[in-house]
Structure 1
């Protein structure tokens, strides 16, 4: 079954479990690659990590090279234009990650960081390495409270817009939070973070449904009101997903 988690979330969770010795390499690769044919890593040599030739290598080869350099953690980012949540720069990484909508920030024990941005072509994904920087992250508790608050506010705002009439499936999903599908997570991911990630993905699904094009049936004023009602939920959901997929801010075991 295909995981509902974005690729960067899968690499953050399963890469962290692999570093801690909770899962074997084969399971790491299976979970990260998912239904794709293959994943590769490119650009590490250009950052001074490993050999002199800057060529693409297997996912396992790239992760092994990073581990040899002293990886402290794998964490995810889910930025959009104007809201680079989960990123700390520099601009090259931010631009690539915003273009992709996601990235993994790899922190090394020496204090440096590497950003891995997935570039997908058909059934293959190449994680392109960029120089990274440490980032400021939302606390798990803060992100959780922010998501709960945004859900309530968006539900009220959409009700005022009569969401059940123009998007009955959005109204259904908003009231179906208790019946979301559970996420499969590796050992070591706090249960609170697994739950938070599931609710964040659910909220992002609601946002996508609410913003679907109606084929020109709405006026500009109506579109603006809908965006004002739902976009804050998308922002809160992405912050929640970043916190749930960033071991730097996980609560102590």
Structure 2
């Protein structure tokens, strides 16, 4: 095993969806923003686009203001769309969601409009010293409020997602062995082992998070990490056919992991 065991990371939209139900006022919004940003290494610069968001150089306050604007959330979930799997993205913002690869769908109290918050992450700097700016953009679903309900209603339950992710983890092991991913890359096998032992930082999670939900988040994040490692190197897949076979198999596993993360992030009153 390599020297350091990595910590698991969650997509930004998943963290926001997990924390948003805890936001009731400006104080709780600031607390949520501080917890979300505590896992950023290096810290990101957050900027919310819109006339209702005042300009500020305080990234934590910018994120807190955005969270407070989205609250209270009757229903909320992260979506992680990919080409061929839009996860029910509303037509008016499906292209924006697909470009970002993630977003947060929010339904407020009865009569409140549905909204989608989308983080576009911009990398700046050089290979030696770089950083990230998160540009938060908002879509108000004036013409299609029911689409948000359809998205949230279509997200799996935690119990179902846990069964699916358990099956996906078994499939991943079998696929990696069958495709001989690490035959020429023993360091890759070490990295996969490190990921299998990694955990989420409990301090970054909302208080009173259900243990089953935390378990699902960790399993899904591990699975996505393993898939990314496997996709980073063709290993023994020396033919176009074998490379395509691996890509298809790993792509399906990644899809299951993304849907499980969405299920774990969902909150319904």
Q: TM-score, normalised by structure 2?
A: 0.75
Map of 1:21-170 to 2, 5 A cutoff?
Answer: 24-33=28-37, 34=40, 35-43=42-50, 58-67=62-71, 70-85=72-87, 88-110=88-110, 112-121=113-122, 122=124, 123-132=132-141, 133-134=148-149, 135=151, 136-169=154-187
Q: Distance in 1 between matches of 2:236 and 2:191?
A: 24
Contact between 2:8 and 2:195, CA under 8 Å: does it hold in 1? no
Q: Distance in 1 between matches of 2:67 and 2:209?
A: 19
Could you list the per-position Cα deviations for residues 164-200 of structure 1 after superposition, in whole angstroms to 9, with x for gaps in the alignment? 3044455456666762223321113211111111111
Could you list the per-position Cα deviations for residues 82-137 of structure 1 after superposition, in whole angstroms to 9, with x for gaps in the alignment? 1123xx43223222111111101111112642110002234321210013422111
Would the alpha carbon gap of residues 56 and 130 (structure 1) be closer, same or farther in structure 2, given more than 3 Å must change?
Answer: farther
**Structure 1 unpaired stretches of 5+:** 46-50
Contact between 1:170 and 1:206, CA under 8 Å: does it hold in 2? no
Aligned to 2:3: none
Q: Distance in 2 between matches of 1:14 and 1:3?
A: 17
**Structure 2 unpaired stretches of 5+:** 1-5, 57-61, 125-131, 142-147
Would the alpha carbon gap of residues 202 and 178 (structure 1) be closer, same or farther in structure 2, given more than 3 Å must change?
Answer: closer
Aligned to 2:20: 15
Would the alpha carbon gap of residues 37 and 11 (structure 1) be closer, same or farther in structure 2, given more than 3 Å must change?
Answer: same
Would the alpha carbon gap of residues 223 and 209 (structure 1) be closer, same or farther in structure 2, given more than 3 Å must change?
Answer: same
> Which of 217, 233, 239 is 2:253 aligned to?
233
Equivalenced residues, count: 235
Q: Distance in 1 between matches of 2:44 and 2:219?
A: 29
Displacement of 1:42 after TM fit? 2.3
Q: TM-score, normalised by structure 1?
A: 0.79
Aligned to 1:6: 11
Aligned to 1:195: 215
> Which of 209, 212, 222 is 2:242 aligned to?
222
With a CA cutoff of 8 Å and minimum separation of 6, indicate the structure with the bigger relative contact order: 2
Would the alpha carbon gap of residues 155 and 66 (structure 1) be closer, same or farther in structure 2, given more than 3 Å must change?
Answer: closer
Aligned to 1:181: 199
Displacement of 1:217 after TM fit? 7.4
